[in-house]
Amino acid sequence: MDILTFLLAVRLIGLAIVRIAMIPLAVAFEFRERRRAQRGDTGLLPSHPAWSPRVSVVVPAYNEERVIGGCLRSILDCGYPNLEVIAVDDGSKDRTLALLLRFARGERRLHVLRQDNAGKGAALNRGIEYATGEILMLVDADGQFGPDTIPEMLRAFTDDRVAAVCGSDRPVNLDRVQTRFLAVISHVGTGLVRRALHMLGCLPVVSGNVGAFRRSALLAVAVDGMGPLRTDTLGEDLELTWRLHRAGYRVAFAPHAVVHAESPSTLHGLWKQRVRWARGLLQSLWLHRDMIGRPRFGVFGMWLAYTVLAMVWLPITQVVGTIALPIAWGAGLWSPPASLMAAFLGSGVALTAVFLIVAVALDRTPQDLRHSWTLPLWPVYSVLMSATLIKGLAQELTRAPNQWNKLDRTGVVSHALSSPPHAPPSPSSQEFAPGVARSFAHPGLVGDRVHA
């Protein structure tokens, strides 16, 4: 066996071992959760019958007129009694602010804030500062809540050391081949892998789409001069989660706290989003480089070492190999045994199928298998995602400006939710008193609460 074939085999076998190890951990998580449900154990609620904490949902919004109405309605209609919603308009240039004001009329649970455009992290910090809840949920403006989203989140706060809970974010816009493909593979990344990492105590991210935090923990780890969310990184949700691990808190996964949100509907949008994620990962690794591989940070420190290998080094080698191996084969410099390559291919397909079936079973979403015809896109998608890491690394090395590159929303809702969100009609400028319109043009009111 030549050296190139040997290295390829080591890479594939190593990844297979790690992935196979995820399956029993994820299944163990599900068995444990089912036993808790059979005992009637709902986290802190049995031991604290009066524990129905005030939940503040913070929704940052920048040019979200297509989706903000559905998001707010789904939250306000979710049925949780002790709720407040804080919507922060981050200097939108469309009708987002007008829609927020329309919703705020007669809705005492909704508070609208406005600030000059400063980015998502700054908008979240502004909302957190204003919030009064013991539990803070940070969600994107395209999120669609169901009736169980908040109760399932709260159920995962099993003890005082659990500072944050990550829910399950699933695509809502299943109108294109790309979004249907993402809907299928999301069960592996969010459903199976997050269960396994929860069991290991090293869940690395509380998704910006659906995350809940103890207010006390956020204040305890706040960054001087910024707040709980950093404003100098593109991966503010990832970096915050790592900061909580550094402080010794636990991070939990709530697989049935589902928020449906838009997936990128175009290849260009997917590329921009994943380049941003790649830069956020690299920035977080640099900020927390002293944790990588350090035993004093427990399993999480070891997981960060694996992250460097699997999410930085291996993507680079994948892109290089995708280019170099065909050239080497065409030039006669590399000739792997056909039987060996067939074995690798066959085992990879079989492992992917097992992974997908287990993940869908754990998430109890067999209906999503109807999109499995899109799975031949997976090898191309894998190489593309590795290329985004190289692009993000190049931007970091050249110190390119941080650009959020927010997705262009479509407003497509393919799921029939339990409480269908219906946005109110888009308000016209005549529906607002002239004094209100003038007050928002006044720079002295920027950052203050809006009274509709």
The 10s digit of each residue's pLDDT in 314-356 is 899 888 888 887 887 788 777 777 776 677 677 777 888 888 9
Q: Which amino acid is at 19?
A: R
Q: Which two tokens stand for residue 245?
A: 């691990």
Q: Which two tokens stand for residue 286?
A: 């640099």
Hey, how many other C-beta atoms are within 10 angstroms of the C-beta on 117?
14
Q: Which amino acid is at 235?
A: G
What is the Cα Rg of the chain in Å?
A: 23
Q: What is the DSSP letter of 150?
A: H
Q: How far apart are CA 302 and CA 305, in angstroms?
A: 5
Q: What is the DSSP letter of 445?
A: G
Hey, how many other C-beta atoms are within 10 angstroms of the C-beta on 301?
19
Phi, psi of 163 (to 5 degrees): -95, -25
**Strands in 215-367 per DSSP E:** 250-261
Q: How far apart are CA 174 and CA 416, in angstroms?
A: 12
Closest CA to 340 of 9, 4, 67: 9
User: Is-contact 90 60, C-beta < 8 A?
Assistant: yes
Q: How far apart are CA 22 and CA 18, in angstroms?
A: 7
Hey, how many other C-beta atoms are within 10 angstroms of the C-beta on 147?
15
C-alpha separations of 233 from 276, 283, 300, 439 in Å = 10, 7, 21, 32
The model's pTM = 0.86
Q: Which residue positions in the chain have pLDDT lower than 50? A: 1, 45-47, 49-50, 418-452
Q: How far apart are CA 144 and CA 139, in angstroms?
A: 10
Give the full edge-to-edge strand order of the sheet including 55-61. Answer: 144-145, 250-261, 162-171, 210-214, 135-139, 55-61, 83-90, 110-115, 449-450
What dihedral angle (degrees, nearest 10) is formed by the CA atoms of 227, 231, 235, 239? -30
Closest CA to 382 of 323, 309, 322, 324: 322
| pLDDT for position 41 | 62
- Enumerate the β-bridge partners of residue 162: 250
Instruction: Give 150-168 pLDDT, tens digit per residue.
Output: 999 999 998 889 999 999 9
Q: How far apart are CA 83 and CA 55, in angstroms?
A: 5
Q: Which two tokens stand for residue 429?
A: 């400028």
Angle between helices 378-397 and 267-287 (to 10 degrees): 50
| pLDDT for position 14 | 74
| pLDDT for position 422 | 40
260 three-class SS: strand
Q: How far apart are CA 413 and CA 144, in angstroms?
A: 9
| pLDDT for position 49 | 46
Phi, psi of 337 (to 5 degrees): -60, 130
| pLDDT for position 419 | 41
